[in-house]
Amino acid sequence: MLGFSVLILLPLLTALFCYLIKNLRVQYSISVFVGFLHLTLTFIVFLGLYHIQLPTFFSFDSLSKLFLLILSNVYFWVVLVSNTYLKRHVTSKAQEGKKYYFLLLNFYLASNSAAMLSDHFGMYWVTVEMTTLSVAPLIYYYRNEEALEAMWKYLFVVSVGIAFAFIGILFLTLSANGTSLQGKQLFFWEFIRSAKELNPIWLKASFIFIFVGLSTKIGIAPMHSGDIDATSNAPSPIAALMSGSLRLTALIGVMRIFEIIIPTSSYEFARTILIIGGLLSLFTAFVFMFKVNNYKRMLAYSSVEHLGLITLGIATGGIAFVGAMYHAIYNAITKIVLFLSAGNIHSKFKTREVEKVKNVMNILPKTGWLFLLAFLAISGIPPFGIFFSEIKIFEGIFFLDNPLLLAFVMIFLLFIFINMGKIFFMMLYKKEENETTTTQFEGFDIIHLVSILLLIILVAIAVSSPDVIYQNILNVAKDFGITLK
């Protein structure tokens, strides 16, 4: 029970503590400590040095180990910089949002951990709904009309999506009628073991509803609108949290039902649906990048692009599946740096409009360089990790013997890179007429330090390719019936 207490119960108790103790400094200190404990334990479990016995409805497997480590890593860095972020001046209305910030962060950690560790469709559904309730008030942090609209839109769209996922789970139970699973609990592993017995019609219907429903949280087009508004209006640390970890909490649910379908006759059907969803996401990001007017919204659409690419890799299988798992790691780390840098820019210029942000390299030189490096990282420029994960995904699609699909993917990514680059360089280097080029002083704070450390980690993982990560990803692939030669 020690592991369960640290991973789920302790964050819940810390959330209660933050409700009772109003001092933000104390809330921050205990939240950082809990986040560090969570990350340490998760890392030890990932290394295989400690095996946790979890209660019924929860368990560890290779996939949950990987995604939980990503969640814990993103959460720790976000909570670490949060105190600096909360010290910034906000309107009097937004002061109210600070009171519940750490309470909700800890509730977010507990609910996402529970969702990733659940091995039962019912428990997963409940905990995923809890993640929505934990993040929605954080979207409304600024207490303005845009944030209010984004919060309610997110709640509405995602709640409808969760209802769709619930219907999909009901269809999954119907697919078990007349089989050895009839009347049993909805444990993932039991359905995987008896997948070939399931009724293919109900199984296909289940996959469609679960995929469509959870896509509202993953950000897969065309169900992405609520997530885009929420990410672009939330405070930058929360946007980083959503882009880096919350999307994976929903993705793991899709991967669970896909894992059930793989050994059945419905596999090609499900894979086609995933490929269509991934390609639509790339196309949606491709179209948006031609008319960017909000740089945080641009980063939100970048998440749509990369989750679409991950979905394509999962559907393709083989080496592309391995690339998709690496891509999940690299994308999560890079998004933290991008959104934290965007938060610094927003704090200085008081706007999210691209046209009103100019000459960042001279006005905020440290942030400007980090923003530029993060852009190169998210665009797949070596030696940053996304270059290597994208190569694996492209290789897998190439061997799928579908050159047209690869051509579309490459064209979409090329124009996304060109248009994002244009926006980034305009923000970083464009000057007003007669403006001097004197570089202004920008203080060095923990946000800059964290961003530098994360970029170093990003390159280190990509270049050294630690065997423990590779072996874990291979184990995930084996669970999905993928054997690499």
In a domain? residue 358:
yes
Evaluate whether residue 171 is within a structural domain.
Answer: yes
Query: Is residue 419 one of the residues assigned to a domain?
Result: yes
Look at residue 275 in the predicted model and tell me its pLDDT: 96
CB 423 within 8 A of CB 371: no
Does the pLDDT of residue 206 top 90, yes or no?
Answer: yes
Host domain of residue 304? 117-479
221 within 8 A of 280, measured Cβ to Cβ: yes
Identify the pLDDT of residue 179. 85
Residue 361 CA to residue 5 CA, distance in Å, equals 46
Residue 458: band (very low, low, confident or very high) from pLDDT cuts 50, 70, 90: very high
In a domain, 84, yes or no: no
- Measured over the CA atoms of residue 227, residue 228, residue 233 and residue 237, the dihedral's sign is positive
Task: Work out the pLDDT band at 391, boundaries 50, 70, 90.
Answer: very high
Amino acid 436: pLDDT:
62
Provide the number of structural domains found in the chain: 1
How many angstroms separate the CA atoms of 309 and 416, rounded? 13
User: Each residue of 288-304: pLDDT tens digit?
Assistant: 999 889 999 999 999 99
**Whether the Cβ atoms of residue 240 and residue 339 lie closer than 8 Å to each other:** yes
Least confident of 53-57, 76-80, 208-212: 53-57
Q: pLDDT tens across 154-166, in order?
A: 999 999 999 999 9
Contact 324, 255 (CB under 8 A): no
pLDDT digits (tens, 9 = 90+) for 302-316: 999 999 999 999 999
pTM recorded for the entire structure = 0.95
Residue 353: phi and psi, rounded to 5, are -80, 130
Please give the distance of CA 389 from its chain centroid, rounded to a whole number: 16
Is residue 24 one of the residues assigned to a domain?
no
Angle between helix axes 319-349 and 247-261 (nearest 10 degrees) is 160
User: Could you report the per-residue pLDDT of 226-267, keeping only the tens digit for each?
Assistant: 899 999 999 999 999 999 999 999 999 999 999 999 999 999
Query: Which one, of 130, 156, 261, 247, lies nearest residue 208 by Cα?
Result: 261
> Of 201, 206, 226, whose CA–CA distance to 215 is shortest?
226
| pLDDT value at residue 408 | 94
Q: Is 290 exposed, middle or buried (0-12, 13-18, 19+ CB in 10 A)?
A: exposed
> What's the token pair of residue 33?
């400590």
CA-angle at 215, arms to 211 and 220, nearest 5°: 115
Closest CA to 372 of 343, 342, 349, 328: 342
* Among the ranges given (112-121, 143-152, 327-336), the one the predictor scored with the smallest mean pLDDT: 143-152
- Of 225, 257, 217, the closest CA to residue 241 belongs to 217
Provide the sign of the torsion angle of the four alpha carbons 306, 309, 314, 319, taken in this order: negative
Angle between helices 247-261 and 295-316 (to 10 degrees): 20
Placement of tokens 């799928």 in the chain: 400
pLDDT at 423 over 90: yes
DSSP H helices, 317-364, are 319-349, 360-363
294 SS3 class: strand
Within a domain: 102: no
Query: Smallest Cα–Cα separation from 364: which of 441, 448, 451?
Result: 441
What per-residue confidence (pLDDT) applies to 435?
Answer: 62
pLDDT value at residue 1: 66
Q: Residue 9 pLDDT more than 70?
A: yes
Please report, for residues 62, 197, 248, the alpha-carbon distance to residue 69 in angstroms, rounded to integers and kept in the order given: 11, 34, 11
Half-sphere exposure of 359 (CA within 13 A, CB side): 12
Q: How many CA atoms lie within 13 A of 30 on its CB side?
A: 21
**pLDDT > 70: percent of the chain:** 98
Q: What is the pLDDT of residues 18-64, one digit of tens each?
A: 999 989 999 999 999 999 999 999 999 999 888 888 888 999 999 99
Cα of 387 vs its chain's centroid, Å? 18
Residue 485 has pLDDT above 70, yes or no: no
Residue 19 lies in a domain: no
Closest CA to 333 of 306, 294, 360: 306
pLDDT, residue 115, reads 96
Residue 485 within any structural domain of the chain: no
